[in-house]
A and B are shown apart, each in its own frame.
Chain A
Amino acid sequence: MIKKFDKKDEESGSGSNPFQHLEKSAVLQEARIFNETPINPRRCLHILTKIIYLLNQGEHFGTTEATEAFFAMTRLFQSNDQTLRRMCYLTIKEMANISEDVIIVTSSLTKDMTGKEDVYRGPAIRALCRITDTTMLQAIERYMKQAIVDKVPSVSSSALVSSLHMVKMSYDVVKRWVNEAQEAASSDNIMVQYHALGLLYHLRKNDRLAVTKMLNKFTKSGLKSPFAYCMLIRIASKLLEETEGGHDSPLFDFIESCLRNKHEMVVYEAASAIVHMPNCTARELAPAVSVLQLFCSSPKAALRYAAVRTLNKVAMKHPSAVTACNLDLENLITDSNRSIATLAITTLLKTGSESSVDRLMKQISSFVSEISDEFKVVVVQAISALCQKYPRKHSVMMNFLSNMLRDDGGFEYKRAIVDCIISIIEENPESKETGLAHLCEFIEDCEHTVLATKILHLLGKEGPRTPSPSKYIRFIFNRVVLESEAVRAAAVSALAKFGAQNDDLLPSVLVLMQRCMMDSDDEVRDRATFYMNVLQQKQKALNAAYIFNGLSVSVPGLEKSLHQYTLEPSEKPFDMKTVPLATAVITEQKTEIAPVATSKLPEKLAPSRQDIYQEQLAAIPEFQGLGPLFKSSEPVQLTEAETEYVVRCIKHTFSNHMVFQFDCTNTLNDQLLQKVVVQMEPSEAYEVARYVPAPSLPYSQPGSCYSLVRLPDDDPTAVSCTFSCTMKYLVRDCDPNTGEPDDDGYDDEYVVRISPCGDPSETALPIGRHVASSSLAFSLPAGGPGGDRRRPHTEGPEAQLRSSLGGGGRRVREGGDVRAVIGPDAGGGREQHRQFPGDAAVRAFRQSPGEQELPRPLPRRRVPRGPRRAAAGAAGAGGRGHHAGDRAEQRGDGGGRHPGLRGLKSPAADLGSARPGFHFFFFFLLFLSVSTQQRSHTSDVIKL
């Protein structure tokens, strides 16, 4: 009271803040009056407010001081001032995590929650549940149950919401309150209904049958709360999606009926649910779209926004369905809320006709500077889509994009624009010159290294083939003068490409190269020297090999191999051929073009499977020193899908070893497996060198254990081997709900058997060119529980196979095939081998030409967006190589692999910009590689 009115700044206007210069220590000092008798509620209230305000501002309270203040505060429970008491609850909630011994107030809160004052009861429950942990919860369980079914809505709501918060912490206890929640769900109060429904769903969401029942009940009884309806719609649409129920199901009818609800919130939720359903037909969409159309003319901005955002989504899949709304959308393009206007325009761009494009573009350019980056990206994406639809409009688009490129904006935004321009250039040859000109202008003042190198690479690729290549030289050379190392290096590479393709430019390029050789950065100097020397030879073949084509090996693989090489110094030169080739890179399909959080998630580059395995294996200390990984097989299921433990096997082949990776999944929720190992009994000269157990295998979390097998080197004829596998582990029973394991466990084992549906051809492992003249057949028959071994192969045909393969010379060697055949053998021991060695040989032989196709570079692509572009890319691929994908490409260089020196320069270019230090090593390799070139593949042969 006094504090409040004693302010000196009382009249100094609204500029002052009574809390502005609060000091934590002063406030805590003041908190001592909590101990005074009698309690002065007003002053205490004011101090509590200050404490909460400070906490809210992010002031840090130490544990000791917080605890001290907390304990002083507990005294205030003696006062009966309502607001003060409520503020005490708030303080408890705020301090629950920073103060110690907060449970001291449990009894006071329990008293309040069961007391007569209804005003206290709800907040007391919420505060109590905030400080209660699993062990304490049992003690208040009785009160919670009563509170949930209390007739006072605020009490019931508070109890339900608090229970929901506690589900995460102690599911088991809260689960017992289902009946009470059920009862609360039929309450008259709309919020209680909503909260009860939410809690019930959370408790039952893993039980589809129960959810279905619950839905049926509530959709029939009809709820009053619009919030509860929204919740029901969400549950229903999730269930529809999971069960893949057709659109004739009663759930769909329910959602559709919600379109006629009297609450806008429910109507919108239903419309949005229908729009988001996969494979919805235009007819089913129609009612939802017409509802959204109505919303477009609502006076509420939020409703208009919601409607147009949803329509924008519809337009992506069913542009024709939205055409009916075009008129309403037209009205929105001048909306004062720029988000709405942007969404309306981008929707119209998708649905409208070619004639309206110019007008819309004009409209949007009038306010594009006012909208946030997220929406700018949406606009760019819409334009990109438009360019594919109306190629003739590219000049308008190009102008617009170049204007946008000049505006301020973040990296994501600029990248979207650059991508869009590049795609236009690729699709419309006549737009190439303007596009390149815009990009040249952009790199003159570009702060994003990634974009600059990308554009330089593009210039190097496209520039020399334009009618007047000389005009790009200036832009490129400016980069050499002005930019950072990575950009300079990319610029040198681009320059070299001009020199290589245009004879009249060659002298000038050589002069510029000379200049680049003085650069302060060694990577730039290296590149310049290298290109200079290549260009001076004036040989087309050399140019093609070292300037146009980069490397086709997988970059992570190369990095790994080089690292390995540096770890084990040897006399032998590094062999590029040991590096796995880049496989087609799976980039994540770009998520929908919508103003969702896409801008926050940059497209991730998915490294190839083998790279991932290599990474994983390299992380295991036991497998250090195995050398580079040649090949990993496809996973093979060793168990049927429904068994207790699911095991699949992946074989990793190294030069002298094989690593069997067993991915095990425990599907029993009452068991915790530890020290899981798959024991292998080899039949031949093979020996299991080491087991790496999976330390712990909790329910449904996959874990991997490994077995390292040494390939016998003294007996090269031992090409096949049979292993019988037994999984051994320590079982600890655990509580299925909490996952708490018992203290002691017992050893157990499980015979890994093989799914009888395995087709041997599926388990064939093409090793490609790395492995020569060997076909090795591994069998992993489980045999019965006894684990009996059998040899499926006879020696005769095997020998034949070897000789036939060996006779094929190098070609066959390169196409050789290592296959491990998992003999499908059901536990009964029924002879079920479908493969015969001869058969395998034939297959191996037949496959070999196909395998040779494999290493061929695939056309370079950024993101596989559409079949049309993919086709265009393939057509234009020519001898051009490709890269491990996005990441590598952004570094500014593409390339292919060439026999011989194998693009030793280009990898340096790529790794060099990413990892300083590597490039020097590469240059060193350049000299060594002459010998490498001569070497045959003999060192690669797995001697078996």
Chain B
Amino acid sequence: MDSAALEPSLYTVKAIFILDNDGNRLLAKYYDTGLYPSMKEQRSFEKNVFNKTHKADNEIAFLEGMTIVYKSSIDIFFYVVGSAQENELMLMAVLNCLFDSLSQILRKNVERRCLLDNMDGVFLVVDEIIDGGVILESDPQQVVEKVNYRAGSEQAFGFVLLDYITGNMEGQADENPLSEQSVAQHITEKLALTTTVLQSAKEQIKWSILK
């Protein structure tokens, strides 16, 4: 029975998911289509896993015939699911890689809000670590390099603002050689942008003073 389950295969990871501290799904990927094919089953599995694991940070659990390694950070939980016979340390390698890569791109702010603000980066990181259940990369450094993602978090806000004010509209200016027609449009757009950005900056400063 066990040897049959240990069929040599690269398909190591059955599922990977990130939940918030209410057990809501922030991201979930199921790689084995036979396992929990419907959304309802997936949700109930996640709920069950969350209920059993959120109280104690025990790193590893065995539920519904599945080995689950997990890790929590502030208000989010990371889970990697493998079959009962899977090498637990392989799953741990995936989990650690996921966590460390996210921690790097989120500049150590591994918490729900920051994660949601950089959801695109999170999707890309997961995509670089696992492809269809196969471990693609296990070195967080490599993952971060491949994703090459700049977190647009609040810390970066000041710099972005500066960019706008100085007119360094990143990405836009260089990729659209300004045609005569578009110049006027471009300028209005830029002005509009700057106003909104300034406004929100003002508001932010106000809030930080009030705090």
Interface residues of A (CB under 8 A from B): 1-2, 4-6, 10-11, 14, 16-19, 37-42, 45-46, 48-49, 52-53, 56-58, 79-83, 86-87, 90, 93, 119, 122-123, 126, 154, 157-158, 161-162, 164-165, 191, 194-195, 198-199, 201-202, 205, 227, 230-231, 234-235, 237-238, 241, 264-265, 268-269, 272-273, 276-278, 300-303, 305-306, 313, 336-339, 372, 374-375, 591-592, 595-597, 599-600
What's the nearest-Cβ distance from chain B to residue A59, in Å?
A: 9
- Residue in chain A with minimal CB distance to B10: A198
Q: A14 to B176, alpha carbons, bound, how many Å?
A: 37
- Residue in chain B with minimal CB distance to A268: B89
Report A-chain residues with C-beta under 8 Å of the C-beta of B150.
Answer: 83
Report A-chain residues with C-beta under 8 Å of the C-beta of B56.
Answer: 336-337
Report A-chain residues with C-beta under 8 Å of the C-beta of B52.
Answer: 372
Report B-chain residues with C-beta under 8 Å of the C-beta of A337.
Answer: 56, 58-60
Q: A750 to B196, alpha carbons, bound, how many Å?
A: 85
Report B-chain residues with C-beta under 8 Å of the C-beta of A39.
Answer: 175-176
Interface pair B123/A122, CB less than 8 Å apart: no
**The residue from A5, A18, A86, A154 contacting B197, defined by CB atoms under 8 A apart:** A5
Interface pair A6/B196, CB less than 8 Å apart: yes
- Residue in chain A with minimal CB distance to B130: A161
Report B-chain residues with C-beta under 8 Å of the C-beta of A161.
Answer: 10, 131-132, 134, 136
Report B-chain residues with C-beta under 8 Å of the C-beta of A11.
Answer: 207
What's the nearest-Cβ distance from chain A to residue B120, in Å?
A: 4
**The residue from A300, A372, A596 contacting B85, defined by CB atoms under 8 A apart:** A596
The 5 A-B residue pairs whose C-beta atoms are closest, nearest first, are A597-B65, A198-B10, A301-B59, A58-B39, A234-B8
Report B-chain residues with C-beta under 8 Å of the C-beta of A231.
Answer: 8, 10
Interface pair A4/B117, CB less than 8 Å apart: yes
Interface pair B65/A336, CB less than 8 Å apart: no
**The residue from A81, A195, A372 contacting B134, defined by CB atoms under 8 A apart:** A195
What's the nearest-Cβ distance from chain B to residue A55, in Å?
A: 10
Q: A303 to B10, alpha carbons, bound, how many Å?
A: 21
Contact flags B35-53 to A (C-beta < 8 A → 1, else 0): 0000100110000000010
Interface residues of B in 103-139 (CB under 8 A from A): 111-113, 116-117, 119-121, 123-124, 127-128, 131-132, 134-138
What's the nearest-Cβ distance from chain B to residue A5, in Å?
A: 5
A90-B127, A194-B10, A372-B62 in contact; A302/B134 too (CB < 8 A)?
no
Report B-chain residues with C-beta under 8 Å of the C-beta of A158.
Answer: 131, 136
Q: A205 to B3, alpha carbons, bound, how many Å?
A: 16
Q: A578 to B87, alpha carbons, bound, how many Å?
A: 55
Interface pair A338/B58, CB less than 8 Å apart: yes
Interface residues of B in 92-112 (CB under 8 A from A): 92-93, 111-112
**The residue from B59, B87, B120, B152 contacting A268, defined by CB atoms under 8 A apart:** B87
Most chain A CB within 10 A, of B87, B113, B128, B196, is at: B87
Q: A269 to B112, alpha carbons, bound, how many Å?
A: 35
Contact flags B42-79 to A (C-beta < 8 A → 1, else 0): 11000000001000101111111110010000010000
Contact flags B1-44 to A (C-beta < 8 A → 1, else 0): 11101111110000000001000010111000000000100110
Most chain A CB within 10 A, of B3, B8, B117, is at: B8
What's the nearest-Cβ distance from chain B to residue A878, in Å?
A: 37
- Residue in chain A with minimal CB distance to B186: A38
What's the nearest-Cβ distance from chain B to residue A41, in Å?
A: 5
State whether the Cβ of B184 lies closer than 8 Å to any Cβ in chain A.
no
Report B-chain residues with C-beta under 8 Å of the C-beta of A227.
Answer: 90, 135, 138
**The residue from A49, A164, A313 contacting B120, defined by CB atoms under 8 A apart:** A49
Instruction: Identify 13 new A-B residue pairs, CB closer than 8 A, beyond the known A58-B42, A303-B89.
Output: A1-B160, A37-B176, A56-B29, A90-B124, A123-B127, A165-B131, A165-B134, A269-B87, A339-B58, A372-B52, A374-B65, A592-B1, A600-B65
Listed A/B pairs (5) with beta-carbon separation below 8 Å? A56-B28, A119-B148, A273-B6, A277-B3, A300-B92
Report B-chain residues with C-beta under 8 Å of the C-beta of A126.
Answer: 127, 131
Interface pair B124/A198, CB less than 8 Å apart: no
Interface pair A38/B89, CB less than 8 Å apart: no
**The residue from A86, A202, A234 contacting B124, defined by CB atoms under 8 A apart:** A86
Q: A82 to B148, alpha carbons, bound, how many Å?
A: 8
Q: A126 to B207, alpha carbons, bound, how many Å?
A: 45
Q: A601 to B152, alpha carbons, bound, how many Å?
A: 48
- Residue in chain A with minimal CB distance to B27: A56
Q: A646 to B1, alpha carbons, bound, how many Å?
A: 29
Interface pair B90/A5, CB less than 8 Å apart: no
Interface pair B131/A235, CB less than 8 Å apart: no
Q: A231 to B91, alpha carbons, bound, how many Å?
A: 14
Interface pair A265/B124, CB less than 8 Å apart: no
What's the nearest-Cβ distance from chain B to residue A648, in Å?
A: 26
Report A-chain residues with C-beta under 8 Å of the C-beta of B135.
Answer: 191, 194, 227
What's the nearest-Cβ distance from chain A to residue B121, in Å?
A: 8
Report B-chain residues with C-beta under 8 Å of the C-beta of A302.
Answer: 59-60, 69, 88-89, 91-92
Interface pair B136/A305, CB less than 8 Å apart: no
Interface pair A90/B8, CB less than 8 Å apart: no
- Residue in chain B with minimal CB distance to A211: B8
Interface pair B196/A2, CB less than 8 Å apart: yes
A301-B58, A339-B61, A372-B61 in contact; A591/B10 too (CB < 8 A)?
no
Report A-chain residues with C-beta under 8 Å of the C-beta of B39.
Answer: 58
- Residue in chain A with minimal CB distance to B208: A11
- Residue in chain A with minimal CB distance to B149: A83
Interface pair A265/B10, CB less than 8 Å apart: no
Interface pair A230/B136, CB less than 8 Å apart: no
Interface pair B111/A14, CB less than 8 Å apart: yes
Q: A162 to B116, alpha carbons, bound, how many Å?
A: 29
- Residue in chain B with minimal CB distance to A118: B146
Q: A306 to B119, alpha carbons, bound, how many Å?
A: 33
A18-B117, A165-B132, A339-B61 in contact; A52/B148 too (CB < 8 A)?
no
Q: A157 to B27, alpha carbons, bound, how many Å?
A: 24
State whether the Cβ of B141 lies closer than 8 Å to any Cβ in chain A.
no
Interface pair A595/B84, CB less than 8 Å apart: yes
State whether the Cβ of B193 lies closer than 8 Å to any Cβ in chain A.
yes
- Residue in chain A with minimal CB distance to B150: A83
Q: A1 to B150, alpha carbons, bound, how many Å?
A: 13
- Residue in chain A with minimal CB distance to B55: A370
State whether the Cβ of B182 lies closer than 8 Å to any Cβ in chain A.
yes
Interface pair B10/A230, CB less than 8 Å apart: no
Q: A596 to B84, alpha carbons, bound, how many Å?
A: 6
- Residue in chain A with minimal CB distance to B114: A14
Q: A161 to B88, alpha carbons, bound, how many Å?
A: 22
Q: A4 to B63, alpha carbons, bound, how many Å?
A: 38
Interface pair A191/B138, CB less than 8 Å apart: yes
Contact flags B159-186 to A (C-beta < 8 A → 1, else 0): 0100000000001100110000010001
What's the nearest-Cβ distance from chain A to residue B25, in Å?
A: 7
Q: A691 to B71, alpha carbons, bound, how many Å?
A: 64
Q: A230 to B88, alpha carbons, bound, how many Å?
A: 12
**The residue from B25, B90, B117 contacting A57, defined by CB atoms under 8 A apart:** B25
Report A-chain residues with C-beta under 8 Å of the C-beta of B152.
Answer: 1, 4
Q: A118 to B108, alpha carbons, bound, how many Å?
A: 27
State whether the Cβ of B200 lies closer than 8 Å to any Cβ in chain A.
yes
Report A-chain residues with C-beta under 8 Å of the C-beta of B84.
Answer: 595-597
Interface pair A119/B123, CB less than 8 Å apart: no
What's the nearest-Cβ distance from chain B to residue A164, in Å?
A: 6
Q: A119 to B147, alpha carbons, bound, how many Å?
A: 8
Contact flags B189-201 to A (C-beta < 8 A → 1, else 0): 0000100110010
Interface pair A264/B136, CB less than 8 Å apart: no
Report A-chain residues with C-beta under 8 Å of the C-beta of B58.
Answer: 301, 336-339
Interface pair B8/A201, CB less than 8 Å apart: yes
What's the nearest-Cβ distance from chain B to residue A743, in Å?
A: 33
What's the nearest-Cβ distance from chain A to residue B123, in Å?
A: 6
What's the nearest-Cβ distance from chain B to residue A888, in Å?
A: 27
Interface pair B120/A83, CB less than 8 Å apart: yes
**The residue from B87, B112, B142 contacting A14, defined by CB atoms under 8 A apart:** B112
Interface pair B123/A87, CB less than 8 Å apart: yes
Report B-chain residues with C-beta under 8 Å of the C-beta of A162.
Answer: 131
Q: A1 to B160, alpha carbons, bound, how many Å?
A: 10
Interface pair B88/A305, CB less than 8 Å apart: yes
Interface pair A372/B3, CB less than 8 Å apart: no
